[in-house]
Structure 1
Amino acid sequence: MEPGSKIIKPPAFTPTEARAASGARRFVRLEQPFRMHRGGVLPRVDIAYETWGELNEDGSNAVLLFTGLSPSAHAASSPEDTSPGWWEDMVGLGRPIDTRNYFVICVNSLGSCFGSTGPASIDPRTGEPYRLSFPVLTIEDVAVAGREVVRHLGIRQLHTVVGPSLGGMSALAFCVLYPDMSRGLVAISSAARATAFAIALRSLQREMIRSDPDWLGGNYPAEKPPLRGMRLARKLGMITYRSAEEWDQRFGRERAGGEHDAGDQFGVDFEVESYLEHHANKFIGQFDPNCYLYLSRAMDLFDVAEHSGCVATELAKPGIKRALVVGVETDFLFPLHEQEQLAECLEREGREVDFVALPSIQGHDSFLVDMDGFRPVIARYFDRA
């Protein structure tokens, strides 16, 4: 934060100006036009990030972390912000990515709503939010924005670039676009391209949001977003993020307490319904709907093969010396066979590639909740370094 800056606590999904950093969050402001991968230009870009640990003299201990679709750059707590981060059990002192040894940088994705420029940001040319005038967003744009943070910090080569889910796609795009900028790659529950099944699910989520009368073609006021559409989209998302095995073990046919509202015979009867309702209501108001649409679509558009026509050719580019690919047996959003294919495509002479399949029952969300399964795998990768 610049000297004399005013600390502002904005609404949950309203990005701040770069000078309005709070807590551990910092910003890189790009004053030059930012050209998007599929066309369009942003006249100015802010990229929010947080860091943990200390950069060594030659910068060789830097780890770049890309996030999934909805998290901010707050991956872990710090003295500046003691609130738990979304990967609290993975980043920090004595944790698998040990900040006594590594300097960790987590970037809020371009197009998001937690400080980085996105559809909810103010277009400096008009003084109004970009909304749907924001250019088409791609995973490549997220990767380029991450590289700008790395350059801003004076780092020439990363130790490793890490990412789960959308973040894994961003990490892959980073290594394809800048093959010499990282010696290592950790891709978790991700893929080199979106499959038809995942596209279909995300398409339905986007339709739920756009079908809400309050969406208003993307021109909703910040104080009245399309909450019903977001709530339904989040419920479907929660179903895809977990597994049928977990639902059965956690909820079975347990009944929810309480009575229906008068005249509502189709209200919540079961605990699993109550769970979905709780998480949907928790999510709405915390994430801008247009940002959700753009990031969701970016995942669908991603295809490593777009760059040369062959996934294996792109992923076999020299630069990366070690790679770890982690998948989960119960993840049907990014199924295990995709992780196996990704690991195979990363194989090349002189590169060490490890593939790990975990039996976690929490599905796609396992990397957030099954720390007993994930911690040893990530720790082994970094301990060996």
Structure 2
Amino acid sequence: MKSRRVASSLRHAQTALSCNNAAPAGFRRLTASTAAAAPATSPRALEQRQQATRRYFHDQTPRRSGAPSNPAIKFPCLDALETRSATLEKQAASTRSDESGPEPSYTVGATQVYHCQDSLLLDHGGQLHEFDIAYETWGQLNADRSNAILLHTGLSASSHAHSTPENPQPGWWEKFIGPGLALDTNKYFVICTNIIGGCFGSTGPSSIDPSDGKRYATRFPILTIQDMVRAQFRLLDHLGVGKLHASVGSSMGGMQSLAAGVEFPARVGRIVSISACARSHPYSIAMRYVQRRAILNDPHWNRGFYYGRVPPHVGMKLAREIATITYRSGPEWEQRFGRRRADASKPPALCPDFLVETYLDHAGEKFCLTYDPNSLIYVSKAMDLFDLGHDNQRATAARRAEYQHQHQHHTTTTGSTGSTGGGPACTLTLPDKPYQEQPESAMLSSLNTETTLPFHQGGSSGNSSGAPADLVSGLSALREHPVLVMGVASDILFPAWQQREIAEALRQGGNDGVQHYELSEEQSLFGHDTFLLDVEGVGGAVRGFLG
């Protein structure tokens, strides 16, 4: 093989030499001198001739003036991010402690705080030996304490659902809470908490670990939606609320609302679940995954230990932009933005240029320094893990029993509990084998199984081929509970078929008290965010259901 390559190179060299008569005299002299230095057929002679050829044509290439063909494109959007990083770096450098720094306090005003000193065992083996729950209330608790409503939040919301005398700023559900509104404060005592894992006053990754005085960061244990609910019920115990009149929530809050009924069926009266699901599905898991990756890939994230330093604001901004795409709908954006550019009189830009791009950029800017990145990672992962199916509940119960035994054994043998450590390891790992593409035949076969087939997308009345038996069994604890399930046809994050799945699973389990409403695209184009905006459609249905 080597001899054939040498022969081929020699033939090319001979061809070049045969053209020497047509080449400039300088080139002929250069190649002649190199030919005399070594035998014409040797590899060394060939290499010398090739080098001589390259040197000659390099020397003959005209020198350019130095001016580029086109000016470099400017990126003011990247300049702004770099400027912010520099500002945050200076702020971090001016602080004396690694535990303070440029991060905001992540609070939205005055709240009440319940400090629980009883340990909380978590579903995946972690343990909080003490924790805070930030909460706010509206209305008055009646004499027999039977009019309490627990309002659950979405992923990034605080306990500030409505304005209070201590904090007059409008809350995230301002127009739904108050006299005569969806949550009528003339009738009900409304409680809203910041979830554990959050960053608005409740214990989360940005909180101080009492065992060593440093922030938890990614030493914080993995959470589930059910863990959040158990912490909330500790607060209810503290407030003397034995049974809720209703559990109400939208989006992640709708998941919590269902989980509250399943975990504490005797302590919950009515259940409202809006734009949620009973088990997370691949599309929403995928979208939350890329949001987390945007943060983890930000060099400032530093494995979660960025407190006192520059926070991963670039990754957070991108994560919020990705999320915002899922919160609204295509039809609304067609009407709101179309193909309009921010300034059609200017040349196109690679920074935000179309109106929809400027909208996403604005959403990311508002969010990137007002929510803790670690909280987003932990809470969104808890959403991914959510599954009220019977098999998952049974496996979780067995795992919790084993963890409880290990924690008790550790405490007995060491006489110490620590904060989150000391018991079983709390972590998630990569699978042993990476994902491999499936043959088409295997994919088609898997789609015919009940466990992977999405709920039949029938009408809003619930006509379908049936909900999965595993989910029917998992929701059986709610057989006697009045349940309101609402969905929105334009929702792409929690599509309306997922709410139909909840309603049908409840009905198949024998629940005759299910009310299911689905807002069509004609009724709402706002997609997933409809629960924040539609006071008449969403609010009216909730008010009517609560009575």
Cα deviation, 1:282-323, whole Å, max 9, x if unaligned, reads 011100000000000000001011114832223221575311
Q: 1:219 Cα deviation (Å)?
A: 1.0
Contact conserved, 1:12 with 1:287, CA < 8 A, in 2? Answer: no
The answer as to whether partners of 2:102 and 2:309 remain within 8 angstroms in 1 is no
2:529 pairs with 1:365: yes
Residues 26, 35 of structure 1: alpha-carbon distance in 2 compared, 3 angstrom cutoff: same
Which is further off, 312-321 or 205-214?
Answer: 312-321
2: distance between equivalents of 1:271 and 1:15? 29
Deviation of the 1:43 alpha carbon:
2.2
Match of 2:146 among 47, 56, 60: 60
Task: Determine the C-alpha separation between the residues in 2 that align with 1:297 and 1:259.
Answer: 44
C-alpha distance in structure 1 between counterparts of 2:135 and 2:345, whole Å? 45
Name the SS for the 2:125 alignment partner. coil
Farther-moved stretch of structure 1 (300-309 vs 201-210): 300-309
Matched AA of 1:345: A
1:354 alignment partner, one of 500, 515, 521? 515
The residue identity in structure 2 corresponding to 1:316 is S
1:22, distance to aligned residue in structure 2 (A): 5.8
Q: Is the 8 A contact 2:324 2:360 kept in 1?
A: yes
Structure exhibiting the larger radius of gyration computed from Cα positions:
2
- Letter of the aligned partner of 1:156 in structure 2? G
TM-score (norm 2): 0.64
Q: Deviations over 1:123-157 (max 9, x none)?
A: 01111110111011110111101111111110111
The 3-state SS of whatever aligns with 1:63 is: strand
8 A contact 2:217–2:305 mirrored in 1: yes
Q: Are positions 1:130 and 2:216 aligned together?
A: yes
Q: CA deviation at 1:78?
A: 2.0
C-alpha deviation, 1:342, in angstroms: 0.3
The equivalent position to 1:303 in structure 2, one of 371, 376, 387, is: 387
Cα distance 1:141–1:260, how it changes in 2: closer, same or farther (>3 A)?
farther
Q: Could you tell me whether the CA contact under 8 Å between 1:61 and 1:159 is conserved in 2?
A: yes
Shift of 1:13: 5.1
Q: Which moved more, 1:201-210 or 1:342-351?
A: 342-351
How much does 1:41 deviate?
1.0
Structure 1 residues 215-254: aligned runs within 5 Å:
215-254=301-340
Deviation of 1:254 (Å): 1.5
Q: CA deviation at 1:37?
A: 1.4
Task: Give, in angstroms, the shift of residue 373 of structure 1.
Answer: 2.2
Query: Does the Cα contact within 8 Å between 2:479 and 2:511 map onto a contact in 1?
Result: no
The letter of the residue matching 2:501 is: Q
Contact 2:246 2:272 in 1 (8 A): yes
Q: Is the 8 A contact 1:179 1:320 kept in 2?
A: no
What is the alpha-carbon distance in structure 1 between the residues aligned to residue 344 and residue 497 of structure 2?
A: 43
SS in 2 for 1:100: coil
Displacement of 1:381 in angstroms is 1.1
Would the aligned equivalents of 1:179 and 1:319 in 2 still touch at CA under 8 Å? no
Quote the Cα distance in structure 2 between the aligned partners of 1:74 and 1:142: 17
In terms of fraction of residues, the more helix-rich structure is 2
In structure 1, the partner of 2:352 is: 268
Q: Supply the distance in 2 between the matched residues of 1:144 and 1:58 (Cα, whole angstroms).
A: 23
Displacement of 1:223:
4.9
Separation in 2, partners of 1:193, 1:350: 19
What displacement does 1:30 show?
1.0
- TM-score of the pair, normalised by structure 1: 0.91
Structure 1 regions of 5+ residues with no counterpart?
Answer: 1-9
Q: Secondary structure at the match of 1:65?
A: strand
Mapped to 2, the partners of 1:191 and 1:124 lie a distance apart of 36
**Structure 1 segment 181-220 matched on structure 2, within 5 A:** 181-220=267-306
Specify the code of the residue in structure 1 equivalent to 2:285: I
CA RMSD of aligned residues (A): 2.1
**What amino acid is aligned across from residue 484 of structure 2 in structure 1?**
L
Q: For the Cα contact (< 8 Å) 1:182–1:320, is it kept in 2?
A: no
Query: Contact (CA 8 Å) 2:478, 2:506: kept in 1 or not?
Result: no
Q: What residue number does 1:44 align with?
A: 130
Q: Structure 1 residue runs of 4+, over 4 Å off?
A: 10-13, 258-261, 348-351
Asked whether the 8 Å contact 1:77–1:85 carries over to 2, the reply is: yes
Instruction: Determine the structure 2 residue equivalent to 1:145.
Output: 231
Q: In the alignment, is residue 380 of structure 1 matched against residue 544 of structure 2?
A: yes
Cα distance in 2 for partners of 1:350, 1:202 equals 32
| In 2: Cα distance, 1:111 partner to 1:13 partner | 17
Tell me, in whole angstroms, the C-alpha distance in 2 between the residues paired with 1:317 and 1:32: 27
Give the structure 2 partner of residue 325 of structure 1.
485
Corresponding position: 1:281 with 2:442:
no
Q: Which moved more, 1:345-354 or 1:242-251?
A: 345-354
**Structure 2: how far apart are the matches of 1:272 and 1:141?**
37
* C-alpha spacing 1:155/1:351, structure 2 compared with 1 (3 Å): farther
User: Where does residue 475 of structure 2 map in the other structure?
Assistant: 315
CA distance, structure 1, for counterparts of residue 260 and residue 543 of structure 2: 22
- CA gap of 1:361–1:12, structure 2 versus 1, over 3 A, is farther
- 1:350 Cα shift? 6.1
SS of corresponding position for 1:214 = coil
What amino acid is the match of 2:157?
P
Q: How far is 1:34 from its partner? A: 1.6
- Cα deviation per residue 1:186-237 (whole Å; 9 max; x = unaligned)? 0010001110111111101100110001111111124511011000000000
With over 3 angstroms needed to count, the CA separation of the structure-2 counterparts of 1:253 and 1:149, relative to structure 1, is same
Cα distance, 1:299–1:259 mapped onto 2, change above 3 Å: farther
1:35 aligns with 2:195: no
Contact kept? 2:103, 2:307, Cα under 8 Å: no
User: C-alpha distance in 1, partners of 2:238/2:309?
Assistant: 35
What is the CA-CA distance between 1:11 and the residue it aligns to? 8.3
Aligned residues, how many? 367
Matched, 1:344 2:504: yes
Which SS does the other structure have where 2:335 is aligned?
helix
Query: Percent identity among equivalent residues?
Result: 44
SS in 1 for 2:136: strand
- 1:104/1:83 CA distance change after superposition, 3 Å: same
Deviations 1:39-60 (A, max 9, x none): 1111210001100000111111
Note if 1:293 corresponds to 2:453.
no
Q: Quote the residue 1:102 is aligned against.
A: 188
Partner of 2:23: none
**What is the rounded CA distance, in whole Å, between the counterparts of 1:54 and 1:238 in structure 2?**
36
Distance in 1 between the 2:345 and 2:170 partners?
Answer: 35
